[in-house]
């Protein structure tokens, strides 16, 4: 999570959406850089609303902070998790995905209680508006890097040169038609939210 106090902007860090590179590029401009623990670095909107927003309003006497987040196309997002858990450092760990196919990974993810290797959460839940009206002010598609960078450059009055960071190994991943159909049905909220985001 990055907090740009003067610009009244909080960049929420949705896992597997390229935020590590933005953290590295923009940390010098931020008033607060939260990298650890992961529960705070990747604080979803409901955690921001519960802990950070009240702190900003009480300590900083501001109630107009805006939030920014990035969402990745749902199949691509799952593919990124799958590839991440096949990196060398995952050898021997219970959550590794070396011995399962992408279809098996996604099928496990769709279970009511996913096994550890497929328990990766939900982008829709991460970004879900709160009952008090708190919502993500600026939501970008991961695939719209030009729009995201353009927005940040204008808002922060800077030029952004993104490093490559936390990149998982490349591999061709595709789901069988049956598994993808079931994923789109069981996780419709993910696809619906992604479809609602317009490119800038």
- Decide if pLDDT at 165 tops 90: no
Tell me the mean pLDDT in the region 178-200: 95
- Decide if pLDDT at 14 tops 80: yes
Which tens digit of pLDDT belongs to each residue from 84-123?
999 888 888 888 999 899 999 999 999 999 999 999 999 9
Which tens digit of pLDDT belongs to each residue from 130-154?
999 999 999 999 999 999 999 999 9
Q: What is the pTM of this model?
A: 0.92
Laid out side by side, the sheet with 66-71 consists of: 32-33, 2-4, 9-11, 66-71, 138-141
**Long-range pairs for 151-157 at CB < 8 Å and ≥24 separation?**
151/68, 151/200, 152/22, 152/26, 152/68, 155/4, 155/7, 155/9, 156/4, 156/7, 156/9, 156/26, 156/29
Question: What's the pLDDT at 168?
Answer: 62
Task: State the architecture of 2-196 in CATH terms.
Answer: 3-Layer(aba) Sandwich (3.40)
Q: Is residue 196 very low, low, confident or very high in pLDDT (cuts 50, 70, 90)?
A: very high
Domain boundaries, the chain: 2-196
CA atoms within 13 A on the CB side of 176: 9
């Amino acid at each position: 999570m990055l907090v740009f106090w003067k610009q009244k902007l909080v960049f929420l860090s949705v896992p597997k959406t390229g935020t590590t590179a933005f953290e590295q590029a923009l940390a010098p401009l931020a008033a607060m850089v939260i990298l650890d623990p992961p529960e705070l670095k990747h604080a979803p909107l409901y955690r921001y609303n519960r802990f950070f927003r009240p702190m900003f309003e009480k300590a900083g006497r501001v109630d107009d902070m805006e939030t920014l987040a990035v969402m990745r196309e749902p199949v691509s997002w799952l593919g990124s998790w799958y590839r991440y858990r096949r990196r060398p450092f995952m050898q021997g760990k219970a959550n590794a995905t070396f011995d399962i196919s992408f279809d098996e990974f996604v099928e496990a993810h769709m279970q009511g209680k996913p096994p550890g290797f497929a328990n990766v959460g939900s982008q829709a839940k991460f970004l879900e508006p709160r009952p008090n009206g708190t919502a993500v002010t600026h939501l970008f598609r991961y695939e719209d890097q030009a729009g995201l960078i353009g927005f940040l450059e204008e808002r922060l009055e800077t030029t952004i040169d993104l490093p490559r960071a936390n990149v998982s190994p490349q591999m061709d991943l595709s789901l069988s038609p049956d598994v993808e159909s079931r994923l789109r049905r069981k996780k419709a909220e993910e696809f619906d939210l992604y479809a609602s985001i317009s490119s800038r």
